[in-house]
Amino acid sequence: MNVPKIDTTAKSDASKEPVELKSRSELRDLLISAGLARGAAEKIARGGWRALAGELTEDDLLEEVVAMASALADQLGDLQ
């Protein structure tokens, strides 16, 4: 799988083109290449892709926030 590498230490450059994601797997791979744990990236991609694709209802929003908070808690727990 060809995953783009991201230099997370580089300063933002406004002249760079934004990344256009076309699938949930591209979002997951991007998060992993940025250094997020594979499991956390999968949870965020699974929960967050519908919001990025414009398919999110108000009920889904609460569910997604809970899923993302859980993924973040898992990631923080892995750091200890």
- Whether the CA torsion 54, 55, 57, 59 is positive or negative: it is negative
In a domain? residue 3: no
Q: Which domain holds residue 36?
A: 24-79
Residue 49: inside a domain: yes
- 45 domain-assigned: yes
How many domains, the chain?
A: 1
pLDDT in single tens digits along all 80 residues of the chain:
555 555 555 555 556 788 788 888 888 898 899 988 888 888 888 876 666 666 767 787 788 788 888 888 888 887 76
Residue 16 lies in a domain: no
Token pair 């979002």 is found at: 27
Q: Would you say residue 50 lies in a domain?
A: yes
This prediction's pTM: 0.44
pLDDT for the residue numbered 40: 80
Kindly state the tokens that stand for 49. 């892709």
